[in-house]
Structure 1
């Protein structure tokens, strides 16, 4: 098994049809590849068996989560270099035809490389996926039960862990930065921007859908004098939010419920905020989501929908859920283009009055979260598990690059349940929140 790194590098370049842009260190201590670049560390041959039994992103992710694959050097640089080979690589090549597993079946040279890879991987059945993966899913897609289990998988992993990553603000969505902001200042600015867009005033009734650890309802009640209801499917989030509200002396004005938005029946509300929650709804149920929120608002009430968006598909492309994110991060989550979101809100009866794209802000937010995680790595591992901490580091770093490279975006959509009279309640120069 001497010089395993050189053999791996040669095989990878044959199978991928391109030079590896990173250095490789194998389990035998050997190294190969361009010097001065990040190093992909293959700690165990088991990682190769994972790739053979599950080619593609999910196999790589399982090796990463299990600690069999690692990166030495700048993780962002490594992911950026590998993106063109792994995540942004077309399925066909103008000169050589189909790539990937199909190519290995048709090309004798690639078949030989695949056999060599099997030899390197060694004998054995496919390794069991790391336990952080969500595999058992009960109920139909986006049923009440299944959605609650999916949310619990992601959020009920310990509030202490989230405090390390998110910081004192405990806001798990895109912050709103200026050049000199700290993370906490940028998150406070985002919450206040939403309050201003919703035109909140004392006595208003606010519903926060997917309220997380209560930061939005707490800010709105304390700074704008509203009465607020926050709903979440996470029992750990709800317990944390209730304590924060009690400590702030706001229990008479803020209520936190473990409840699905589809089960809220005590409308109407003057305003609704949905911040980083709609990604969990699913395309098949999005119209129902929009219609339900429209029904819960008073005529003239406002909705602020803050949501990650993917780019529109080209002709004949099919939307595919990211395997790593679906298995380890946000089970059953889906992204939609912002145009589709706006159209569905309008079909539900809303008048869309403003759309603000804040893509660059999310990239900066994610880099701040990664820095927090890396600065508290031993504690993060102790509070969850090595696999869970590794999931978060990879997910957030890769997501930061996706926002920076304009593969995904994030938008705040302000919509009004405009009454039949047409009096929307908006000023003629409607961006009053900018003043």
Structure 2
């Protein structure tokens, strides 16, 4: 962080930022699609995502890299020679180590033809040096952004992640990436998508789902089931939030099938319960919830999603969604555990307000909604306020609707009005 601030909202801007306005302000003040587009990864990159290729690259040995490139692509030495613009006999000598290339220009040429980062062949220019330095900080940036999001500072997480993703996207578009960089890009895409899904209003949540979907595309090629399960899980939940509930359920079922760690399975089941509950499928909701409960009973709870408080909120919301209002009302009065993050307390307050409204406990519902509105405004969580607006409009609680709408306007103003 260099101390520079957004000209619109005053928030500190990421060390990677190239613009004077933070990404959150840009996202809320511009067109629905994000200003940084998640571009398709060029095909050459997928070659170097393969485990065999990654092993070859790690040797930094040109003969090994050339032989591996030919084997993966099914090329003979003549075809590789044509690709590089060399004679077949020269390629043969390079592969066997009888000839070595020491000049920088030739190594840059080979790296460009094989879509390799130049540092792999021992050539590091200013651009490559800056990129490698960014990668060293990239993993820490993602971890810190996740901590910020989970502690109720999702806007700051977005503003830190977006420029990092933009740099990685640009590199991928050039076709000069290796496996570690691709993994970092996928991690950054997931983290950005989830953070956007926390701070964007409902009408823009498809943007968050697009980012997590781009991460799934990479993860499916990396032969890492745990990471693929993670990307599918987060993408499935963002699809659900954006209104594509059936598609979200499909991704979450895939994630559950790939997940081995209890906490990962619990997280997938938590999101799956939510999605099935929103579909109104009582039988499948009960089955998924029972699996979640049994898993939690047999394993130590951990994280945001695999713990008693989350289970309790999901059960209440699912019962309401599947038409069992009275059962949901009885559970509201018996809180379980404590939330592991501020946003989960807000989510619980909104859910509680919805249930209490449904069972005609208007005064208690009002208290829950007021608490949710104030906390959601403080943490800038617009779609939780939108849930309050829908519930209060439906029940005729006009004063609360006005209060929630005013909070929405203040959130938007904080993000897009120049100081």
Report the TM-score range of the alignment, normalised by the length of the smaller protein. Answer: under 0.3
Larger Rg over CA atoms: 2
Larger helix proportion of the pair:
2
TM-score relative to the length of structure 2? 0.21
